[in-house]
Structure formats: C-alpha cells, structure tokens
Chain A
Amino acid sequence: MIQIVRNFFIALRQIAVGDKKYYAWVGFLSFLIILGASAYIGQLNRGLIITAMRDQVSWGFYISNFTFLVGVAAAAVLLVIPAYLYNFKPIKEIVLFGELLAISAISMCILFIMVDMGQPLRVWHILPVIGAMNFPASLLAWDVVVLNGYLAINSVIAFYVLYRLSIGKEYKMSVIGPLIILSIPWAVSIHTVTAFLYNGLPARPFWNASILAPRFLASAFCSGPAIMLILFQIIRKLSEVEIENKAIFKIAELIAYAMGINLFLLGAEVFKEFYSGSIHSDPIKYLYFGLHGHNNLVPWTWFASILNITAFFLFLFPKTRENFTTLNMACAFVITGVYIEKGMGLVIPGFIPDTLGEIYEYTPTMQEILITIGIWATGALLYTFLLKLAVPVYTGKLRFFSKAQMVTAGDIMSRRIITVSPDTSADEIAKLLVSRHLSKAAVIDQNNTFVGTVSEADIISLEVGQGADRKIADIMSAPAAPVKEDVKIQELGKILADRKVSSLFVVNKDNQPIGAVSGNDVLRALENIRQE
C-alpha cells in the first residue's frame, strides 16, 4: 500500500519537474486555463446568456468543438487498424501515444458538454439507475454511454501498458488484445452515434441526411491522424522516443485516402442539395452563398473547402507527402479545414433558417471563446502530463521498483540498441549512430549472438576516407564483453567501474543483445530504491 503511495509521488514528481521549456509550456497552458475558468465562473453566475446562443440557434461553439474532438478521439485509436491488420510494425509502437491522445480528446469532449449544460450540477440525472437515462430512445444517452465506455477502454489499455513497462515487464497481449480489438468498432461507434445524434432529427433538414455518419468518419480519419502526425514529430524531437519516418508517411497516406472520401461525400452532398433545390437546401446555400443577405459563414466555408482540397493533393503525392515542410502545411490545412467544416460549418447551418423560418446569425462571444480555449488548454495540459509520464516509462528511464525485487540489468536497461552484421561498413555504422543518437553498436553474427562492439571512438580513430573500405572486424573492440540480463545492479555498478566504460550491452541467456545499460541507469535505479 505504502508502495503505491510512494510510486504515486514518484510519478507526481516526474510530472512536476522538468526543464525551462517544460515550465514555460505548462505555465502558458495554466494561464489559458485560468482565463477560461474565470470566464466559466461568469457563465455559471449569469447563465448561458453570456454566449451568443439563443432559442433560434440553441447549440453553438461548444458543441462544434465537441463534435470535432469526438472525431479526433475516434481516429486516434483507428491507427490501430493498420498497425494490427497490416502488422505494420512502425505504427505498433506509437499506438500508445494515439490512445493517450484519445483520452485527452474525450476528456475535452466531456468538458465541452459540461460547459454547455444549463444545469451542470444535475448531470447525474443522465445516469442509468440513479438517474433516469432515456436509453435507448435518446441518442444523447447513447453518446454518454459510448463516450464514457471509450474513455474507460483507452484508459485501461494505456495505463495497463504503462504500468507493466514501468515495473520492467512486457505487457500481456492476452490481457489487452481483446480490449484493443474491441476499441476498433467502439471508435467507429463513438463517431457514428455522434452523427446519429444530429442525423435523427427530422426537424433539421440539414442534418437529417444519411450522408452525415459516413462524412463524420471520413473527416475524423483526416483530422485525428493529422494532429497525431504533428504531435509525433514533437514527441520524437523532445524525447528519445523513436518514430520512423516510414510510420509518419504511412499515416499521411491514409489521410490522403480519407480526405479523398471526405471530398467525394462533400461533392455528393453539394450535388443533391443544389441540384434538387428544394427549400431544404437553404442551409447549404447559407454556407456557400449566404441566405437572404446573411452571409457570415460564407468566407469560412470556402476557406475550409480550399484548405481541404489543397491538403488532399499535398497528402496524395508522395513528393509533397514525404517532404516535412509540405507535410506539416498539409496537416495544418486539414486540421483547420475539418475544424471549420465539422464544427461551426455543421452545427450552425442546422439552425439556419430555424424551424419557423427565422435567420439568426451566431458569432461566438469573447467569453465563449475564452472558455473554449481554456478547455483546449486543459486537454493539452492533460496530454502533456500523460506524455511526461509515458515517454520515460516507454523509453525505460522511469521505473518503479520494490525493495522485494532483486533488480537486475534486464530491469533497468534501455531496449534502444543498434545491431549490425560484421560486413557492415564503418560509414554505414556512423550514419546509424548519428541518426539514432547512440554511441555504440553491437555486432552480431547470423545467429544474432553477440560478437563485439563498435563505438564512436573506434570510427573516429580511422583515417579520413578509409571508412567505406574498413570492415568492422578490423575496428571492433572485443574486450567490452556484455553482461547477462540477470546480473544484479549492485554487481553491475562494480563491473562498469572496473572496466572503465560508461555503458555495456546486455545479452539474454542465448548471448543475443537485447539492450544496453549505463552507469546513469544504475544510479537512477538506486535512487528510486532508496526512496522507498
């Protein structure tokens, strides 16, 4: 029990302590959160009248953001499909970060719903048994069920994986495999149910269209992965987590297909509305051309469409897709385009014209915007904290140990190593060492057994121009023998000191290299144990 408390404080310290950039970022987000919170207190005080929503347009900016974020949450997990169905290994490693994003996105969704409610303290009325949930008639009740279920699934998977990693063990696929499989249709369902929420209302002809659910999924598949692409680049820049470009480009390719489908569906919608030309096409007319002189959303709509089409082509062609400048531009375009199209571009036209023919043009007030920014900042902060915890656990830097455990080299090692065959040239090894920020490579034979080490020093000592010719056999050093994974860390410290090396490779019982351990890892582990 005390263990858990101590581990909790270790985790807390991990989140609370960081470098200057970290403090600046957290401070900035906290400032935005405080702004949002104070605006929200004003809303609690006076009521939703501080927003621009009125009876004619009774849902607005909050629900727009909610709808967009449900898509992001769904897509975060849908990366799982290519990872497992196509067994695409580079993506497998990053599913965890997608799930953490899903957790943050769903949390933001819940916050947006809470701030949109007129009587937030009564939220318990929506629960079954203790409340009076109107299931299965009300689609909103369905949404509550699926969104919270999704949050639970992702939380269980993510925290189980992190917990297992943090105590130096692998996660059991038998435990989370079924949950991961379940999360795939569940991810589809959260966004389909959200679409049905709009779709099932015959009072609003703009929403009462079968195309809504497919469009939601298509646009979710664009915006969610695009956000993830940007986040992954940030993660791999700021930490030791390695995310291969291959993974990034594959995801970008998927975005291209999703955007293609999204644009096709948009075209289908545009045709039906403008060609049939009944009064039910008034909302889309309002979006693209204005209606009876009201045209607030017209520039936004065209802007979003142009962004989406441009992004489609940028993602489609490998040349622009695999160039990080154009790739990131395309991501920004997609995120902005879908945010507009699925946010305000979906919610507001449902109410214009209203059921009695009136047109009320809605523009969010400053307080609404502040509260919205505050919620986005909360989600960003949550994701930041989750990463601050997850990344070191993932890379092996953060470990929890109990006194009862006999800590071995295998528990504290980093699994990030480079293995090369003996006929690799020195130049190639040098390239690998640079790109992966490592100082040594392990040389293995055809049975994957450890043969020797090649370090930076070995390569640097070569004369210039000799790199291509020299084979490893000439330059590698044999003396730095690896340690077995079951060596206890107290002995490990001695070994490192005796051999006067900063790090050693760790091998399993078949003498195959499985990781590397440094003096730093030993010190950190000892510190963690000392804290208990």
Chain B
Amino acid sequence: MLKGAALGFAGLALPLDRANASFWEAFFQKHFREMNDAEIKKVISRLEKEYAEKYKKAITIGNEKPLPGVLYGYGLDLSRCIGCRRCVYGCVEENNQSLDPQIHWITVLRFKKGEKWVDLENAEKYYNPETVPQEDYFYMPVQCQQCENPPCVRACPTQATWKDPDGIVVIDYNWCIGCRYCMAACPYGARRFNWAAPTRPSEKINPNTHYLGNRPRYKGVVEKCTFCIQRTRHDPGRYPACVEACPVGARKFGNLLDPDSEMRYLIKHKRVFRLKEDLNTNPKFYYFFAYGN
C-alpha cells in the first residue's frame, strides 16, 4: 500500500512535464466532425509530430473521406476457414495494435461440429492444437460488423463514435472519454479498451495511418476494426489486411452498392446469414458456406 502511495505521488510528476502548448492544444481539441479541413490539418500535423517524437520515425496520418457510392461489405466463407489466426495477426501488424497489453481486433471462435453453435454459447477462442483445421471442428472469425444500425453509436454519450457514409463505424481516439458504454452495447464483442498505455516497438509501427483508423492509440480509449480504413478508402483502394492474410481465401470484401462486386455475387448466389440478426443491428458481415466439404 505504501509502495502504491509512493508510486502514485511519483506519477503525479508525469503530466506536469507535458504542460507545454501541445498538451493544451490536445485538451481543447474539438470534435472531429466539428472541425473544418484546415483545423483537421493542424491537428494531424500536431499528432504526426507527437508520433514522430514517440516512435522516432515519420508517421503519416491520412484523412481520406468516404468514397461516394460505396458501402463496404464483408463476406466470410465458413466452409473454408481453418482457424489458423493469420487474419488476427495480419490485422495486428497492419493496424498497430498494442502487443502488451495484447489487443486483437479479430476473435476466431471454434465450434464442435454437431453441437449447438449459432447462439455462440459453446464458442471457444483459446484453442491451440498442433495443426488446424481439426477433424471435428469448424471455425468462425468475428470482428466489428460495421452495423448499419449500430447500438454502440447510439450508446456513446459524447458522439466519439459514429457511422460514416461508407458504412464504417469510426472512433475519434482524441474525443473518446473511455466510459466503455459502447463496449457494453456491442452484441459482437468487437470493441477493445486500452486498459493500459498501448505498447508497440517502433520498428513494428506501420507508418501509413488514418486519423480514424490505425494510428497509434492512447491509454483509456476504445478501438476496433475499421475495415482497414487506411487501405480501403482510396481509389483504387486495397483489400483489408485480413483479406490478404487469409491463406485459404475465406475472406471477401467489396462494395455492396456495386452490382458487379464479389460481395453482391456472393449475397445473390450463396445462402448468407449474419450474426444475431434478431437484434436488428443490420451488420455488414455476411457469413456463408461456399461449395465444398
């Protein structure tokens, strides 16, 4: 207890040495949606400087706006997923997630064939056999479903999270107060909280970031999958990292508003379902079973 008190008082010293202009600018920073482009640019350049100081490398923060006529959709072929978790770690590398404490935006669930599974009651996520896939099991990855009717957006008391026109539910990490109401509201367990300051070695930082996406986050704020907003919001835009990491091609991504996209094809030709559809969250993550074993 005394040690705690001593550590505590020592800790008081920390915020005092950052009592420079940058601290007050950060404190008074406005809500992202209330800033005009010039103000956002100023904020971004301040943040880039802060990141450069912290990680000793140049990090660019983009602010790509949603592309017109685009509504992102995601497909996941449950007949192909082998539960290898390469999507999980591909995401971690691309999106600068904290290594300690560990944060994974994607959770892969394992179910026994023949047992009740749709209600997720028998889901396991800590499986670690020698090889996957195992004979009697199948696998289902879950991440932010970018709902069209997101309960987390409704819950947030400060509007720190909102749904952009292209369907991505984003978070302004400089506005979030860390109350975690959104985490209680999310039916998919998609949101992660920075219980401590995130740590990631400088050489593993991906320097191509987006303000609302994969830029390094802070202690005490919430984060989640953003459909790799830093990759996808370009013309042409890249696939999210999980799509490219999957060795069996179980992950599909595209524009739901484009009738020629693979997403529309799969919705048309496959029996798709979405998780917890009875909650009317209208998620964009479509699970399906393609041909095969």
- A interface vs B, CB < 8 Å? 34-35, 37-42, 44-49, 51, 53-56, 58-59, 113, 116-123, 125-126, 131-134, 137-141, 144, 197, 201-204, 279, 282, 350-351, 353-358, 367, 370
Contact of B123 among A118, A126, A139, A357 (CB under 8 A): A357
Do B177 and A122 touch across chains, with their CB atoms under 8 A apart?
Answer: yes
Q: Can you spell out 12 A-B residue pairs with CB atoms less than 8 angstroms apart?
A: A41-B8, A59-B180, A119-B220, A120-B177, A121-B27, A126-B158, A126-B177, A133-B158, A138-B157, A140-B156, A203-B186, A357-B120
State how many angstroms separate the Cβ of B45 from the closest Cβ of chain A: 21
Given contacts A47-B196, A140-B157, contact A118 B175 (CB under 8 A): no
CB interface residues, B 1-46, toward A, < 8 Å? 1, 4-5, 7-9, 11-12, 14, 27, 31, 34
What is the interface of chain A mostly: helix, strand, loop, or mixed? helix
Do B181 and A122 touch across chains, with their CB atoms under 8 A apart?
Answer: no
Closest residue of A by beta carbon distance from B162: A134
Q: How long is the Cα–Cα vector from A370 to B34 in the complex, in angstroms?
A: 40
CB interface residues, B 245-293, toward A, < 8 Å? 279
Total interface residues on B, CB under 8 Å, equals: 58
Give the residues in chain B near A367, CB-CB below 8 Å.
4
Do A357 and B121 touch across chains, with their CB atoms under 8 A apart?
Answer: yes
For the complex of A and B, 6 pairs with smallest distance between CB atoms: A118-B178, A118-B220, A41-B8, A45-B11, A38-B5, A203-B187
Q: How long is the Cα–Cα vector from A41 to B191 in the complex, in angstroms?
A: 26
Contact of A119 among B34, B159, B178 (CB under 8 A): B178
CB interface residues, B 138-188, toward A, < 8 Å? 142, 151, 153-160, 175-181, 183-188
Give the residues in chain B near A354, CB-CB below 8 Å.
189
Give the residues in chain A near B5, CB-CB below 8 Å.
34-35, 38-39, 41
Give the residues in chain B near A351, CB-CB below 8 Å.
184
Q: How long is the Cα–Cα vector from A354 to B184 in the complex, in angstroms?
A: 9
Contact of A118 among B7, B34, B193 (CB under 8 A): B193
Contact of A134 among B9, B107, B159 (CB under 8 A): B159
Contact of B31 among A113, A132, A203 (CB under 8 A): A132
What is the interface of chain B mostly: helix, strand, loop, or mixed? loop
Closest residue of A by beta carbon distance from B186: A203
Do B155 and A139 touch across chains, with their CB atoms under 8 A apart?
Answer: yes
State how many angstroms separate the Cβ of B6 from the closest Cβ of chain A: 8
Supply 5 further A-B pairs (C-beta < 8 A) apart from A39-B8, A356-B142: A58-B193, A119-B177, A131-B31, A132-B175, A138-B155
Q: Which of A53, A119, A131, A140 has the most CB of B within 10 A?
A: A119
Contact of A117 among B12, B179, B183, B185 (CB under 8 A): B179
Give the residues in chain B near A137, CB-CB below 8 Å.
153-154
Q: How long is the Cα–Cα vector from A138 to B150 in the complex, in angstroms?
A: 12
Given contacts A201-B151, A356-B120, contact A47 B219 (CB under 8 A): yes
Do B184 and A204 touch across chains, with their CB atoms under 8 A apart?
Answer: yes
B221 interface residue (CB < 8 Å to A):
yes
Give the residues in chain A near B134, CB-CB below 8 Å.
none
Q: How long is the Cα–Cα vector from A51 to B193 in the complex, in angstroms?
A: 13
Contact of A38 among B8, B185, B220 (CB under 8 A): B8
